[in-house]
């Protein structure tokens, strides 16, 4: 499975890492590590995460009270697109805040 962040999601992640790093040295790196752990779980078991609406699923970065919305685009190649959700505010390819 390949993971692709939307441009907005990538920017939001970068901003979040920078924010956490400013709050406490090393916290941005910890956030990045926790995000990678969640990505690993989704790569291995994408269908184990709760569906939000249709094919959109939600995964949490529990240590930071943050989460991601993702969709498996092509089950054959198991391609996923990511977008941060509350408290990181972002939409996933045109989905509105109604999904949060």
* CATH number for the domain that contains residue 61: 3.30.2310.20
Burial of 79 (0-12, 13-18, 19+ CB in 10 A): middle
Is residue 26, in this structure, part of any structural domain at all? Answer: yes
C-alpha gyration radius of the chain: 13
Is residue 12, in this structure, part of any structural domain at all? Answer: yes
Residue 99 resides in a domain: no
Number of domains in the chain: 1
pLDDT on residue 82: 64
Q: In this structure, is residue 27 part of a structural domain?
A: yes
Kindly report, residue by residue over 46-58, the tens digit of the pLDDT: 889 999 888 888 8
96, pLDDT greater than 50: no
User: Model-level pTM greater than 0.85?
Assistant: no
Domain limits for position 52: 2-93
């Amino acid at each position: 499975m390949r993971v692709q962040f939307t441009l907005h999601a990538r920017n939001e992640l970068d901003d979040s890492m920078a924010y956490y790093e400013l709050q406490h040295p090393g916290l941005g790196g910890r956030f990045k590590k926790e995000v990678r752990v969640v990505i690993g779980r989704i790569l291995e078991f994408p269908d184990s995460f709760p569906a939000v609406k249709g094919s959109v699923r939600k995964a949490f970065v529990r240590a930071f009270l943050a989460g991601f919305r993702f969709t498996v685009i092509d089950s054959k190649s198991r391609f996923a697109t990511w977008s941060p959700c509350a408290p990181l505010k972002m939409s996933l390819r045109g989905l509105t805040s109604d999904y949060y």
